[in-house]
Amino acid sequence: MENSTPYIGVTGLTSKSEVEQVVSLFEEKKFSHYIPMLGFLVSYKTLNNIPTENKRYPKIEALPELLRVLEGKKVFPTIHYNSREPDLFNQISLIFNSRIYQENFCRGLQLNIPWPDLNELKVIKSVYPELKIIFQASKEVLSFGTAKEIASRIKSEYSSLIDYLLIDPSGGNGIPLNLENSCNLYQELSSKLPELIIGFAGGFSGENVFSRINSLEKTLGGLNFSLDAEGRFTR
C-alpha cells in the first residue's frame, strides 16, 4: 500500500480462525472504496509477557504467524500499540523485528498513546520509513480543547509524522460514536490537513456499519474516511 487509502478495520484478532473469518468477510463484501485493515493489539504488558485480562491481546510470540495468514492478501495489517512507558522506539523495535517488518508482514502502526513523544516518533519514522502511522485521537486527546484547538496542535506537531488519524473516544469499549462532535473535528482536521486520512471508531458492528457509512457519507460529502471496529466485533 504505497499511498494512504481509507480503510475499514476490525481490531482485536487473536487466532488464525478469526483472521481467516475476517478476511473472508471482507472478500465477500467487496468494499470498493476501502482497503481492509486487520488490527492486532499489543501493549507494554503483552510485549513483556506480563499477564493481562483483556482477551483481545494475542500472545506476542503468536503475532508473526497470525500476520503470515495475510501474506499475499490485499489488506492493511496493523499493530495497535498501547504503552505509558518511556523509550517508545525501543518498545516498537521489539515488535517490528526482522520477521514482522523486513518480511513485509506488517506496515501499519496505530499508537494508542495520548500525544506520543515527538522525538520518539521521529526516530520510528526514520528507522521504519515505510510504516504507516495512525494517530489515535482518544478520549484524552479530545479533552485537550475545542475541535479547532485539537486540529491546530496536531497540524503544528504531528503533520509530518502521521499518515492517518482515528477519532476514537471509545477506546475499544464499544461506546457509540457522537457523530456531531466527531464530524466537527473531522471538518477542522480536513481543512488544516487535507492530505490526512481521518477515520472514526466507536460502537461499530456488523449490524450498523453500512448505515453508519451512509450517515457519514451524507454529512461529510464523500467516502474519504476510515472506520475501525473493535469491542462490538471481537467480544
Q: Give a yes or no: residue 23 inside a domain.
A: yes
- Residue where the block lists cell 514482522: 100
Distance CA 135, CA 167 (A): 9
Quick check: 96 and 128 in contact, CB under 8 A?
yes
Quick check: 77 and 69 in contact, CB under 8 A?
no
Q: Give a yes or no: residue 65 inside a domain.
A: yes
99: DSSP letter: I
Instruction: Tell me what pLDDT residue 233 has.
Output: 45
Which one is predicted more confidently, 74 or 104? 74
Least confident window among 12-26, 153-167, 190-204, 205-219: 205-219
Q: Give a yes or no: residue 172 inside a domain.
A: yes
- Average pLDDT of the residues of the chain: 88
Q: Give a yes or no: residue 184 inside a domain.
A: yes
Least confident window among 21-35, 53-67, 90-104, 210-224: 210-224
Distance CA 221, CA 181 (A): 16
Domain that holds residue 67: 7-234
Distance CA 86, CA 139 (A): 21
Q: Give a yes or no: residue 2 inside a domain.
A: no
Counted domains in the chain: 1
For residue 203, pLDDT over 50 is answered with: yes
Which one is predicted more confidently, 169 or 118? 118
Q: Give a yes or no: residue 14 inside a domain.
A: yes
Report the percentage of the chain scoring pLDDT > 90.
Answer: 66
- CATH number of the domain within which 119 lies: 3.20.20.70
Q: Give a yes or no: residue 118 inside a domain.
A: yes
Instruction: Tell me what pLDDT residue 18 has.
Output: 95
pLDDT digits (tens, 9 = 90+) for 118-152: 999 999 999 999 999 999 999 999 999 999 999 99
Quick check: 36 and 8 in contact, CB under 8 A?
yes
Which one is predicted more confidently, 19 or 211? 19
Which amino acid is present at 39? G
Q: Give a yes or no: residue 1 inside a domain.
A: no
Distance CA 195, CA 108 (A): 18
For residue 30, pLDDT over 90 is answered with: no
Instruction: Please state the φ and ψ torsions of residue 164, each to the nearest 5 degrees.
Output: -135, 160
Instruction: Tell me what pLDDT residue 223 has.
Output: 67
Instruction: Tell me what pLDDT residue 232 has.
Output: 45
